[in-house]
Amino acid sequence: MVNPSHQDSPNGVPAQHESNTNTVQLARMDAGAPSPSTEALVNSEQGQDANKAHPIISDSTNPWDKDDITKPKRANPNRHDLFVQKMNDVWFLEFSSRGSPLPSWPLSITINALVSVLSSILKSTLLLLVGEAIGQMKWNWFKRGSRPLNDFEVFDSATRGPLGSFWLLLGSKGRTLASIGAAITILSLALDPMFQQILNYDTGIARTGISTLPANLLFVAGFEDKNRIVQLPDAMRTYAVIELYFTGISSDDVQSCILQPQVMYPSGNCSYPVFDSLAVCSTCANVTDLLKTEATDAENFAGSKERMWNYTLPGGFNTSPIPRGSTIKYLSSGHVSATARLRPQFPLQNFTQLTFGFNETGPADANAMECSLHWCVNRYKSKVKNGVLHEDVVASSCTGESNDSEWFHRIDAPRNLDASFVAVSDYVVDGSSGTNRSEKVDATNLTNYWDSITPGKFPFGKNDRVAFAHRGASRLLSDYMSDRLTGYITYNGGEQESSTYNVTDGARRLSQVNNATLSMEILARALSSAVRGYSSSSKGMNDGRVPVGGWSWTSEVIARVLWPWIFLPAILELASLVFLLATVWNTSVAEADIWKNSSLAVLFHGVLQGRIEDPRTVVKDVRLMEKAAEGENVMLRDLGGGHVKLEINAAQDIDKLDKVTSFLPSRDQNISKSLPMEILWWFSSTLVATILYITFKAIKNIFFHPLSHIPGPKLAAASRLYEWYHDCILTGQFCFKIRHLHDEYGPIIRIGPNEVHIRDSDYFDILYANTARLDKDPWFYGFLDDSAAFNTASEVIHQRRISKVESYFSKANVQRNDAVLVDVVTKFLKELDAFEIDGEVVCLKNAFKSYATDVVCAFCFPQGTHYAQGPDFSASFHRGQESFARIVPWFRFIPGSSTLAQYTPDWLVSILPSDTQAAIGIVQYAREQVKKTIETNPQDDAKPNLLSNISRSDLPAQDRTPFVLEQEAIRYIAAGTGSTARCMENAIYQILSNPTLKTKLTTELRSISSPPGDRILGTHELEQLPYLAAVVQESLRCFPAVFSRFPRINRKESMRYDRFTIPPGTVMGMSNSDILSDPSVFPKPEEFIPERWLDTTNRSRLLRYQVPFLRGSRNCVGQNLAMAEMVLGLGNLVRRYDLSIFETVKGDVEVVEDCYVPLTRKGSLGVRVLLTRAG
């Protein structure tokens, strides 16, 4: 029986009921409202405040307490924050993994596994967030008017997954804001496959370190003695080489040679630099035209006469009479070649291959080939892939066919056509008969034997370049030839069939090769492998290996990020935020409280569902619900003010309380922000406004900007994020991207919202003319402080500042300070002498940077530096500079970051890496020089310097402060160090890579009267040398100081290029590297050709386009000093030493990043050389 009586307390909360009545109160416990003492609160175990309002309400009844709606309520941690955090985690993980080998983590955890976990958390957080928002939209839906009761189920189903969301979209609720959440829930089904597609995997891409290829017969030029007889260096003095050169190899150990050199590499793949190695080569010629056939009657095996045929060649080849039969192949060796083409090579072994058949009348289809196996030097390009060595011969010293081979232009390369390798007999032959052998020729008496040779003994002069390989080495060939190719045993007299020979698989494959040329090539490769390979340890053939270093590549999986697949997750992240904000806005407009998505919907639709005849009945008043509840012995009453009381009268029905409370929410489970609603609204409004502004700005830039007619990518026109991505995310790639864009769009392109770039050699002088007087782009140079002349954007202010230092950098003043520069060069060369004495490798990258820094500081400031005397040429300082350069692009996109960096506190500097501290040390040096300049009395200053010229000038006081002087000093050091050093380093690499160039330059430099090591040459002497000047000019052309563009702004008038009009205020730029590599001006621009500057007829035209120091009023003010640095450094270095490259490949000097200064790949040691003092 329902007990309808109850007594309300003054504040509207029910008073205590009789003891036989169990009451469940659902109420919003406002501040000051007492807690019922005897009533059981819903979810009392989970929380005290259910924070509920009336779930079903008519248009005329509004029991909601509006005073409480605006009160901020505490919430659980915000789900959207967690969602964004996990989204960022996934992005960071995938971005940090791109282009790198997959890491090895404990328990075999992979990136995919981690991405799956993060994406699962992300997805579940997204669904929880959206579900709560849909639940809130449910209450807003019922708050706005009378609704069918089964709408509870529709909304609640939508909060549980994609199927319910689908029905929500199909129903009338698709017209509500809740449909956005339903769409997000459905689209979330694609999140998992999307995240799995973001990471793609390749193999064999990332380099892991240096590997070595032991090439024990590596050819090294320059170890000949005075008679030009090959003298083996210690590294090559092995049994394998000695026997090969002097006694031949005839032992069985040869058969156990590994035909592929052993490779030592830390991973499964490796790519080696090109190297030269002693090898065996083959040459073949068709001599069928010289073949003579003679018929004769001879006895056969039965003793009767039979017609037979005999074949002869002019070189001595002669077959015994051959009877009529099937096709026959003959292979013979040991005779003199019949062709002049093969004779000059002095082969280790000659072979004649003869094949013929018979027809009804006699022999037919005869074919004769002569082949020669001889010593050569091969240039190998090697790589290891999946543990297997692959070698390609890219050049050979003695092909015998092409005189265009580069070997024919190398004075130190052995060439068989010039009788470089000669096979001699075992013994010195006394007497003309050649029968008396008295002295064995070996490594100890070979030179004496050569000296005793009488003129005319051999068909070459005594002073010819020759090297001896012993004739006995032919036994090495015989060992491979015997019973291997054709089933015949080869010997000097001819051949005979071997009936007992068992042909191996490898031999069978060779014997099936019918082409003699191919057969010899296969044999030559096998012999070369044997020569360069290893035999048993008893012969000592593993001694003295010469390693060829190369980059090894990992065979692990490399992660690639496919960014288009991140589109949907990003859209869902943004959409969920919009839906959340829309829910908060809708709730505020409806003046509804913040509710949990389930709550009383379960109560009404679950406990009371059976008492309602039609679930679609529109419930207009809570009294209808009260009436329906009476049949369940449940009393549901509206207490007003948002309070609803549920009473269970019978003690036996207490279990109904558990059913009800199990569905109700815990305390304060809602979607409200942890911040007050006002802050959330302000933040969301600002975010939406920002997004709208960026969108509209991008549309305006693309379609309605004055530069919209300029071709180029739309993304670049929309915003600077295009440049940010290529320069900051990809690290210094935008200048290379600009080149590709020119190839695609033409000579003029739009590379930014208000910037164009032009590639036209003839327009360079127009844009950067002295009369143009254009300003620098302040944004592009924003990473530098504007107080120094170099960084000044305004052309007027720049001219005022630069006029005080132009005379200091004039050619006349540089020449007056020649003694200062020579002193720096002398100290630099003295340091190199120590490396030469110790036989240590010199890293020219660090050496030239230290040299250039010392030159600039000695020339410009009161006291010079001594970086060249630092450990390894102050390598730590230069590493720090390079690391700093790589973050320079970020300074452009983070306003004020460069200024903030200038005021880095000392305590922070002290905890930075040592390399960074060393680089920052230049700032302290600049401060000391400024202080010294200011404290020096002008009358006592015997040698004015750059800083004194500025500080004592008539510039305004703000242009002469200590801070300005400090900035000027830092800029001149930075500008004059890396650029010149890089140019010199690349020049040395080009000189040493081209023997002809090296010879020309060395000859010119050493033609000066005094010996190379006597004294240091000054600028005046070196500038008179034409070939050195040509080398310097070509170095400046090929390796300019800056690869990037030089943006300028004409603020006064429009400019035209071709048919395009460029309005005032537009940023216009060109890159001098484009001009210096223009093939229409400099033929073969990628090649280093100093001779182009010696052509007097074309020199003036080349100089017009020679713009390494830019042009106009903003050109490099220190170009005269830079030229003097290069002339002094390169001239004296090449004159004083014989240099050779050490473990340096082209990739060590190639520019792969441009962070305003050109940079090589990370980890590159640059050009490394070995020094030998010139005699």
Q: Are 416 and 405 in contact (CB under 8 A)?
A: no
- In three-state secondary structure terms, 324 is coil
Tokens of 42: 């819903």
Tokens of 1054: 């429009």
CA 266 to chain centre: 20
- Phi and psi angles of residue 761, each rounded to the nearest 5 degrees, phi first: -60, -35
Number of H helices, E strands in the chain: 38, 35
- Partners of residue 440 on adjacent β-strands: 427
Q: For the CA atoms of the chain, what is the radius of gyration?
A: 45
- Phi and psi angles of residue 395, each rounded to the nearest 5 degrees, phi first: -160, 155
Q: Are 333 and 481 in contact (CB under 8 A)?
A: yes
Q: In the chain, helix, strand, coil percent, each to 5?
A: 45, 15, 40
The reply to whether 1116 sits in an annotated binding site is yes
Residue with tokens 């000949």: 224
| Distance separating alpha carbons of residues 1026 and 1045, to the nearest angstrom | 32
Residue with tokens 């160090």: 977
* Ranges assigned E (strand) in 494-572: 494-497, 547-553, 557-561
Q: Are 483 and 476 in contact (CB under 8 A)?
A: no
Q: According to DSSP H, which parts of 994-1045 are helical?
A: 995-1005, 1019-1022, 1026-1038
Query: What is the three-state SS of 736-797?
Result: HHHHHHHHHHCCEEEEECCEEEECCHHHHHHHCCCCCCCEECCCCCCCCCCCCCCCCCCHHH
The helix (run of H) or strand (run of E) holding residue 914 is helix 914-935
DSSP state of 607: I
DSSP string, 190-203: GHHHHHHHHEEEEE
Nearest by Cα to 539 from 278, 767, 244, 870: 244
Evaluated on CA atoms 208, 214, 217, 220, the torsion sign reads: positive
What pairing do the DSSP bridges indicate for beta strands 427-430 and 436-440? antiparallel
Q: Are 486 and 250 in contact (CB under 8 A)?
A: no
Cβ-Cβ contacts under 8 Å for 346 (sequence gap 6 or more): 374, 416, 419, 421, 422, 423
DSSP state of 1080: T
| Distance separating alpha carbons of residues 1021 and 29, to the nearest angstrom | 98
Which conformational region is residue 489 in: left (phi greater than 0), alpha (psi within -120 to 50 degrees), or beta?
Answer: beta
- For the chain, give the number of residues: 1175
What pairing do the DSSP bridges indicate for beta strands 1060-1062 and 1153-1154? unpaired
- In three-state secondary structure terms, 23 is strand
DSSP state of 548: E
- In three-state secondary structure terms, 1060 is strand
| CA distances, 515 to each of 285, 329, 333, 512 (Å) | 12, 12, 17, 9
Treating both helix axes as pointing N-terminal to C-terminal, what angle do 844-860 and 818-838 enclose, rounded to 10 degrees? 150
Q: Are 188 and 123 in contact (CB under 8 A)?
A: yes
Residue with tokens 């291959």: 353
Count Cα atoms within 13 angstroms, Cβ side, for 930.
Answer: 19
Per the annotation, where are the binding residues for heme? 1116
* Binding positions: 1116
